[in-house]
Amino acid sequence: MWLERRIASSIRGLVSDSAWALCAVFFLGSVCTANAQSEGDASIAVPMGIVGTHHLLVAEVLEEAGIDFQVSFDNDVCSSVSRNEVYKIIPGEGEVLSGDNPLVVLRVLRSTKLVTVPDLSGLSLESARGAVEGIGLRFHDGGSKGPRRGDWCGIYTDRQTSSDVRQQEPESGNSLACGETVTAYKEWWGTWQSQRASNGQCM
């Protein structure tokens, strides 16, 4: 908390006559907000880069900007952000605040909802992606997997690749937190041709 206050307050001096800028940097990430205002223009826009940022750091940025706010902590929310980060801001980022006492509401993730991994077998990659992302998970195309053999002394010929999903990780029915990844694989197969010599050695 002390470090965040020092960072937020130290960069407040980086302003020009025609615009103010706030840039708070923490750990390996950063939130930079610029709101250019012409002289005499009292309108204030909601800063950009709020979603996905720790709510304490956002609070410092809003306080420096003179924006009133309130914080709402939510449980079992499907979001890809981490705990204690803002997953939604009302009004939205970049929107101009109106009224003499504009208020911004920060919705903060306290716990992430668990969802059940769907069965992707037989779906096209496009349909599988839609099924996964539609429930708040991330989708990864893992390419294709072939059959496993204990004997690797040979090659597959006439290889063919399926046009749909044949395998997935994790398997359907498992529970994942929103924002975690499901990997889908197509499958290839072919004719195995052994390449062993008469003495049993690989050729």
Q: What is the pLDDT of residues 73-94, one digit of tens each?
A: 998 888 878 889 999 999 999 9
Rounded to 10 degrees, what is the CA torsion of 59, 60, 65, 66?
Answer: 70
Q: What is the mean pLDDT of residues 193-203?
A: 81
List, for residues 144-173, the tens digit of each pLDDT value: 988 877 777 888 888 888 989 999 999 999
Give the tokens for residue 76.
């079992």
- Vertex 17 angle, CA 16 and 18, to 5°: 90
pLDDT for res 19: 32
CA dihedral 141, 144, 145, 147 (to 10 degrees): 160
Confidence of residue 53 (pLDDT cuts 50, 70, 90): very high
| DSSP assignments along 55-85, one per residue | HHHHHHHHHHHT-EEEEEEESSB--SSPTTB
Give 9-39 pLDDT, tens digit per residue. 443 433 333 233 333 333 323 333 333 333 3
CA pair distance 197, 178, nearest whole angstrom: 53
Residue 44 has pLDDT above 50, yes or no: yes
Give the up-direction half-sphere exposure of residue 125: CA atoms within 13 A in the CB hemisphere: 13
